[in-house]
């Protein structure tokens, strides 16, 4: 059975439908990119998959045994108050909260893994720094390290490279590719169609026309060709 | 002065007041950071007005133990205010303000209609600004306060990481399998207990100060959640002790003295924060 199945899902707000009757599924090890114009409902879909908001109709099914505590998430905009006093390490460790259940403290293994994830994201040196004093790109990496702590099967990323410089963007894509090779399924929202066509195994296109399929199929579809052309022009 | 102090300390009611004051200060500072950051700085006022309203009802009904009514009603209101937070038709501060003035008006009206006391305005004044009742505590009240304080501190320590996760980024916590709603409830219940406890010390109007001042001061200087929490707990206890001693020796009102000491501490911490920031930046 697929890791995650979206069945006949309709999304919208207050009577306005954004996406109707969407069907797709995600297998283990898939790398799914969600593309589409601003306001086409990409973030809404991701939040619905995560159970943060209810769909208009339809459902999202997880494979048996897969719980939300196996999912990592990098939000598009974090509604974190600007003046929150928290160190990088405290934030990264909080990624383990979902699997803690009622256990009050983090165990040694979790602390070690938090360290490892900070090292991977290149923020280990910053671990005692205050989050709000970091640059936007550094903050993004800290949140990704936190998401890695939470992700055991699936990682959902909402525009992970927005605000990163070209070098950090390249590193981010390499890192995600590595994680995907290790078996983590990825769902990534991206406006970078070039990267989507380079790294993704599957593409979901939201908009007036909806498309779901493998990367090759997308490149050969009418929707895909038009979108790639337009995005290419706007670059 | 030391001699006078030692002399006062021989009286059990002074010792009770110090113990209770310190415990209340400790508890009330714990959730300060969370409440400030969740934009609920005024929740203290809202809930203490509710507690005030409930208290008048209990008095009218001639209940022997007012707490049996006041505590559950306040907990219920805290749960409603904090947990309905994002989705309620009335957003945070508006709802808090409404509950606050509503309960206050209702309570005052009840007091006026049913009061048997000859000096109504003094009664009202003491509930609003803290009474001298902190100096007339019975041993039973002291024990109740100790029990509730221990429960609050224990709950805070056990839920510390969860409170952090839910305060820092509620939707991430929810999405990755933390039961954010349940922990918001826990926060609400702890807040309500603290408010009911602290009402005796500083009164309804000044209670927010006790909840948020130590956290705000600590946040001027410290940058991590743990250090802010510890610093605000220590600061709050120190300010309460200083305030209590000043008011016992100088005969000033307990509640406002403690709040004044907290305000001075805030000023000092702001200054330190500015100096430190200047040094590390330059
Ligand atoms: N809470 C909300 N209430 C009402 N409408 C909303 C809400 N959130 C989003 N919308 C609307 O739904 C539409 C889709 O929003 P969404 O954030 O899903 O778009 P998106 O595809 O992620 O866009 P972007 O590329 O800009 O991130 C937008 O038109 C937006 O105005
Ligand atoms: Mg979006």
Residue B272 pLDDT > 80 = yes
Q: Is residue B282 part of a domain?
A: no
Residue A234 pLDDT > 70 = no
Ligand 2 centroid to residue A196 C-alpha, Å: 16
Question: What residue owns the CA closest to ligand 1's atom 2?
Answer: A13
**Contact state of A52 with B157 under an 8 Å Cβ cutoff:** no
Ligand 1 centroid to residue B236 C-alpha, Å: 44
pLDDT confidence of residue A65: 75
Task: Give residue for tokens 């990323």.
Answer: A157
- Which pLDDT band, with edges at 50, 70 and 90, does B281 fall under? very low
**Ligand 1 neighbours (beta carbon < 6 A):** A 13, 18, 36, 38-44, 76
What's the number of CA atoms in the CB half-sphere (13 Å) around residue A19?
A: 29
**Contact state of A94 with B228 under an 8 Å Cβ cutoff:** no
Chain B hits for A76, CB-CB cut-off 8 Å, are none
The Cα A104–Cα A139 span in angstroms is: 26
Share above pLDDT 70 across residues of chain B, in percent, rounded to a whole number: 87
pLDDT tens for residues A22-79? 999 999 899 999 999 899 999 999 999 998 889 999 999 888 777 777 889 998 866 6
Query: CB within 5 A of ion ligand 2: which residues?
Result: A 43, 76
Q: Is residue B245 part of a domain?
A: yes
| Chain A residue with Cα closest to B168 | A80
φ/ψ (deg, to 5) at A33:
-105, 135
pLDDT tens for residues B48-57? 888 888 888 8
| Chain B residue with Cα closest to A100 | B178
- Which pLDDT band, with edges at 50, 70 and 90, does B278 fall under? low
Sort A234 into a burial class: Cβ within 10 Å, 0-12 / 13-18 / 19+: exposed
The Cα B55–Cα B72 span in angstroms is: 11
Q: Mean pLDDT throughout A173-187? A: 91
**Contact state of B168 with A100 under an 8 Å Cβ cutoff:** no
Domain range for B257 is 2-276
**Contact state of B161 with A130 under an 8 Å Cβ cutoff:** no
Residue B262 pLDDT > 60 = yes
The Cα A89–Cα A145 span in angstroms is: 10
What's the number of CA atoms in the CB half-sphere (13 Å) around residue B30?
A: 27
The Cα A188–Cα A194 span in angstroms is: 13
| Chain B residue with Cα closest to A50 | B175
Residue B42 pLDDT > 80 = no
Residue B88 pLDDT > 70 = no
Ligand 1 centroid to residue B217 C-alpha, Å: 38
pLDDT confidence of residue B90: 55
pLDDT tens for residues A140-173? 889 999 999 998 889 999 998 887 788 888 888 9
**Contact state of A98 with B224 under an 8 Å Cβ cutoff:** no
Return the H-helix or E-strand segment holding A31: strand A31-36
Residue A82 pLDDT > 70 = no
pLDDT confidence of residue A163: 75
pLDDT confidence of residue A116: 93
> Do A41 and A11 contact (CB within 8 A), yes or no?
yes
Candidate from B164, B223, B226 with C-beta closest to A94:
B164
Q: Which of B221, B206, B222 is nearest to B263 (CA)?
A: B206
pLDDT tens for residues A91-127? 999 999 988 888 999 999 999 999 999 998 889 999 9
Comparing B158 with B64, the larger pLDDT belongs to B158
Q: What atom in ligand 1 is closest to the CA of residue A41? A: 18
Chain B hits for A83, CB-CB cut-off 8 Å, are 37, 219
Comparing B112 with A198, the larger pLDDT belongs to A198
Residue B258 pLDDT > 60 = yes
Q: Which of helix, strand or coil describes residue A187?
A: strand
pLDDT confidence of residue B99: 82
Question: Which residues does B178 contact at the CB level (< 8 Å), separation at least 6?
Answer: A69, A97, A98, B162, B165, B166
Q: Mean pLDDT throughout B160-179? A: 90
Ligand 2 centroid to residue A19 C-alpha, Å: 14
> Do B136 and B201 contact (CB within 8 A), yes or no?
no
Task: Give residue for tokens 């001298």.
Answer: B132
Q: Is residue B166 part of a domain?
A: yes
How many CB atoms within 10 Å of residue B136? Answer: 11
Min mean pLDDT across A81-85, A213-217, B141-145 is at A81-85
pLDDT tens for residues B198-228? 876 677 777 888 888 999 999 999 989 999 9
**What is the pairing mode between strands A185-189 and A57-62?**
unpaired
> Do A33 and A194 contact (CB within 8 A), yes or no?
no
Widest CA span in chain A: 53
Q: How many folded domains does chain B comprise? A: 1
pLDDT tens for residues B89-144? 556 677 778 888 888 888 888 878 876 666 667 666 766 666 656 777 778 888 98
Min mean pLDDT across A50-59, B123-132, B153-162, B171-180 is at B123-132
Q: Which of B182, B212, B200, B204 is nearest to B99 (CA)?
A: B204
Q: What is the dihedral of CA B192, B197, B199, B201, to 10 degrees?
A: -150
Q: Which of A21, A107, A100 is nearest to A59 (CA)?
A: A21
Q: Is residue B154 part of a domain?
A: yes
Candidate from A78, A98, A106 with C-beta closest to B178:
A98
Which of A10, A15, A42, A162 for mutating ligand 1's site (highest number of atoms within 8 Å of CB)? A42
pLDDT confidence of residue B282: 33
Q: Is residue B101 part of a domain?
A: yes
Q: What is the CATH number of the domain that holds B233?
A: 1.10.3470.10
Q: Is residue B281 part of a domain?
A: no
pLDDT confidence of residue B209: 85
Sort B22 into a burial class: Cβ within 10 Å, 0-12 / 13-18 / 19+: middle
How many CB atoms within 10 Å of residue B160? Answer: 16
Q: Whole-number mean pLDDT of chain A?
A: 88
pLDDT confidence of residue B127: 66
**Contact state of A70 with B168 under an 8 Å Cβ cutoff:** no
Phi-psi region of A41 (alpha: psi -120 to 50; beta: other; left: phi over 0): left
Q: Is residue B208 part of a domain?
A: yes
> Do A9 and A19 contact (CB within 8 A), yes or no?
yes
Question: What residue owns the CA closest to ligand 1's atom 31?
Answer: A39
Residue B41 pLDDT > 60 = yes
Chain B hits for A90, CB-CB cut-off 8 Å, are 164, 224-226
Q: Is residue B82 part of a domain?
A: yes
- In our burial notation (b when 16+ CB lie closer than 10 A, e otherwise), range B37-67 reads bbebbbbbbbbbbbbbbbbbbbbeeeeeebb
Residue A235 pLDDT > 60 = no
Could you tell me how far CA A227 lies from the centroid of its own chain? Answer: 22
Which of B8-12, B64-68, B165-169 holds the top average pLDDT?
B165-169
pLDDT confidence of residue A79: 61
Chain B hits for A50, CB-CB cut-off 8 Å, are 174-175
Q: Which of A166, A176, A150, A161 is nearest to A67 (CA)?
A: A150
Question: What residue owns the CA closest to ligand 1's atom 22?
Answer: A43
């Amino acid at each position: 059975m697929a890791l995650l199945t979206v069945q006949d899902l309709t999304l919208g707000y207050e009577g306005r439908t954004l996406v109707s009757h969407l069907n797709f599924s995600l297998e283990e090890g898939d790398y799914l990119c969600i593309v589409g114009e601003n306001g086409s409902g990409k973030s809404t879909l991701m939040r619905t998959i995560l159970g943060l908001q209810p769909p208009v109709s339809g459902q999202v099914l997880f494979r048996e045994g897969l719980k939300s505590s196996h999912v990592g998430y990098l939000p598009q905009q974090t509604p974190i108050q600007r003046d929150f006093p928290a160190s990088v390490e405290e934030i990264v460790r909080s990624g383990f909260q979902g699997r803690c259940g009622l256990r009050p403290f983090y165990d040694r293994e979790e602390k070690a893994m938090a360290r490892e994830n900070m090292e991977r994201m290149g923020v280990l040196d910053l671990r005692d720094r205050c989050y709000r004093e970091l640059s936007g790109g550094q903050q993004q990496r800290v949140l990704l390290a936190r998401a890695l702590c939470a992700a055991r099967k699936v990682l959902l990323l909402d525009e992970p490279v927005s605000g990163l410089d070209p070098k950090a963007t390249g590193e981010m894509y390499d890192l995600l590719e590595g994680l995907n090779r290790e078996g983590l399924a990825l769902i990534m929202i991206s406006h970078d169609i070039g990267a989507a066509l380079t790294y993704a195994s599957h593409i979901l296109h939201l908009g007036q026309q909806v498309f779901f399929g493998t990367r090759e199929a997308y490149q050969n579809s009418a929707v895909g060709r038009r979108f790639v052309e337009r995005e290419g022009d706007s670059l | 002065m030391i001699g006078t102090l030692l002399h006062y300390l021989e009286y059990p009611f002074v010792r009770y007041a110090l113990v209770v004051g310190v415990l209340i200060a400790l508890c009330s500072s714990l959730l300060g950071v969370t409440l400030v950051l969740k934009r609920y700085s005024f929740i203290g006022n809202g809930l203490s007005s509710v507690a005030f309203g409930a208290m008048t009802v209990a008095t009218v009904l001639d209940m022997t133990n007012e707490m049996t009514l006041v505590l559950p009603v306040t907990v219920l209101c805290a749960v409603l205010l904090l947990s309905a937070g994002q989705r309620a038709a009335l957003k945070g501060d508006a709802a808090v303000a409404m509950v606050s003035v509503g309960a206050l008006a209702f309570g005052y009206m009840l007091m006026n209609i049913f009061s048997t006391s000859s000096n109504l305005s003094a009664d009202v004044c003491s509930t609003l600004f803290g009474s001298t009742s902190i100096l007339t505590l019975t041993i039973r009240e002291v024990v109740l306060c100790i029990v509730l304080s221990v429960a609050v501190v224990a709950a805070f320590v056990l839920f510390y990481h969860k409170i952090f996760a839910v305060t820092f980024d509620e939707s991430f916590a929810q999405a990755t399998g933390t039961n954010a709603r349940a922990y918001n409830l826990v926060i609400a219940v702890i807040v309500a207990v603290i408010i009911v406890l602290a009402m005796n010390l500083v009164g309804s109007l000044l209670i927010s100060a006790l909840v948020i001042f130590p956290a705000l001061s600590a946040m001027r200087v410290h940058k991590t959640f743990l250090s802010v929490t510890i610093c605000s707990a220590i600061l709050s206890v120190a300010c309460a002790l200083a305030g209590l001693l000043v008011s016992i020796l100088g005969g000033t009102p307990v509640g406002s003295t403690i709040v004044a000491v907290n305000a001075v501490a805030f000023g000092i911490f702001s200054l330190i924060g500015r100096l430190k920031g200047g040094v590390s930046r330059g």
